[in-house]
Amino acid sequence: MAGSAPLQWRIIVGTKEDGATGVARSQQEPEMLVYIIRRLMQAALVMVVMSAVVFAGIYVIGDPVAMMISPDASEVEREAVRVTLGLDQPTWRQYLTFVGDALHGDFGKSFLAGQPAMGLIFERMPATMELAVASLILSLLIGLPMGVYAGLRPHAPGSKAIMTGSILGFSLPNFWVGLMLIMVFAVLLPDLIPWWPRLPASGRGTTVNLLGVPVSFLTADGLLHLILPALTLAFYKGALIVRLARATAREVLPMDYIKFARAKGLSENRIVGVHVLKNIMIPIATVSGLEFGQTVAFAVVTETVFSWPGMGKLLIDSILLLDRPVVVAYLVVIVFFFVILNLVVDLLYSVLDPRVRLESRAT
C-alpha cells in the first residue's frame, strides 16, 4: 500500500524519499516522543514571542481609552477608566500580569464588551468552524469530480476549461469572489428574474442548538445563509483540489493494478470509482488537512464580507477598535491551532507512509 503512494503527493507535501523502507517500531517510539516534545517546546517559544510582539505593538500605537469614552470626559474620569483596565501600570508589568493570567487561562476582558476575551473567542469559534467545514465539503464535492475528469481525459475541451478555471480559482482574491457572488446572487439575478430566490448576503440566519452549540446548517434559513460564504471560501480550495486530483489521477492511471483491473474486465465506473479514487484520496485528505488552517485564516476575509459572526470578524472588529485583549487572545488561539495542526499533519505522514522519517523533517 505504502509503495504505491503517488510521487506527486510527495512532491506537493515536500517530504523526502529515502532508502529506508521502515524503522523498527521500538526504535521509532522514543524518537516520536522526543520529536513531539521538541515541537511542543518550539510552539511554546513561538507563542511567547508573538504575544510579546503584539502586546508591545498594540500598546505603543494607540490609546484604547481615547476610543472608549467621549472626548469631553474629564481627566479624572479618563484616569479612572485607565486604572480599571490596568493601563496605568508600566508596559512590562502589564505584560507580566497578562502572561501570569494567561497561564491560568485568563486573557483579560475585552475593553468593549467587558466579557473575558477568551470566552468571546470561544463563543465565536463554532460559527467559523461551521463555515470552514462547509467550505471543505463543498470544495471536495466540486473539485474532486472535475479533477478526476480532467485527469481521465486530459485533452478534452472540458478538461482544458476546467484547468483554466482552476487558475482563476487560484488567483482571484477571496473577498473579490465574495463580492461577485453577492452581486450576482443577492442583487442582480433576483432583480432581473422575478422567480429567482434572493440569497442572503449577511449574517448566519436562524440557528438551533446542537449539543449546546448554535449551528446554522440544521435550519433552512441557516443553510441559505451558509451558501454564499461557504462557496466563496471553497473557491480557492476547490481549485487546489482540482489540480491535485488531476495530477494524482494521471499518475495512478498507468499503474499495474489499474491495468490488472481493466484486464479483469471490470467496468469503467468501478475502476474509476474504487481503484482510482481510493488511491487519490490519501493525498487529497492530507492536503485538505494542511489547507484547513488556510481556510480558517481566510475565513477572516469571508466573514467580514458576509458579516458572518465568527472569530475572524471578531478579530477585524477588534483590530479596528484597538480592543487589545481580544486581538492577543485570538492570536494565542490561532497560533496554538496552527502548531497543533502542523504537528498532527506531520505525525499523520509517518503513519500513512512509514518511509517519511520524522527526523528528516525535524532537522
Q: Which residues bind other proteins (CB under 8 A)?
A: 46, 50, 53-54, 57-58, 61, 164, 167-168, 170-176, 179-180, 182-183, 186-188, 191, 201, 293-294, 297-298, 300-301, 304-305, 315-316, 319-320, 327, 331, 334-335, 338, 342, 363
Q: How far is the CB of 82 from other proteins (least distance, A)?
A: 21
- 86 Ramachandran zone, left/alpha/beta (phi>0; psi -120 to 50): left
- Report residue 192 CA to chain centroid gap: 36
Which CB, 50 or 133, lies closer to other proteins?
50
CB under 8 Å to 328, separation ≥6 — which residues? 51, 54, 55, 58, 98, 107, 108, 117
Which CB, 279 or 350, lies closer to other proteins?
350
Q: How far is the CB of 83 from other proteins (least distance, A)?
A: 25
Cα(312)–Cα(330) distance, integer angstroms: 9
Q: How far apart are the first and last CA of the chain?
A: 27
Three-class DSSP category at 214: strand
Which CB, 68 or 343, lies closer to other proteins?
343
Q: How far is the CB of 142 from other proteins (least distance, A)?
A: 20
Cell of 259: 491495468
Q: Which secondary structure element, helix H or strand E, spans residue 65, and what is its range?
A: helix 64-68
Cα(67)–Cα(315) distance, integer angstroms: 17
CB under 8 Å to 56, separation ≥6 — which residues? 91, 95
Question: Which stretches of 306-357 are DSSP H helices?
Answer: 311-320, 324-352
Which CB, 109 or 243, lies closer to other proteins?
243
Which CB, 215 or 301, lies closer to other proteins?
301
Cα(221)–Cα(204) distance, integer angstroms: 9
Q: How far is the CB of 127 from other proteins (least distance, A)?
A: 18
Q: How far is the CB of 265 from other proteins (least distance, A)?
A: 38
Which CB, 179 or 352, lies closer to other proteins?
179
Q: How far is the CB of 102 from other proteins (least distance, A)?
A: 17
Q: How far is the CB of 342 from other proteins (least distance, A)?
A: 5
Cell of 191: 432583480
Which CB, 56 or 277, lies closer to other proteins?
56
Looking at residue 16, the DSSP 8-state letter turns out to be: P
Q: How far is the CB of 101 from other proteins (least distance, A)?
A: 21
Which CB, 181 or 249, lies closer to other proteins?
181
Are 98 and 109 in contact by the 8 Å Cβ rule? The answer is no
Lookup result for grid cell 480558517: 296
Q: What are phi and psi of 277, to 5 degrees?
A: -60, -40
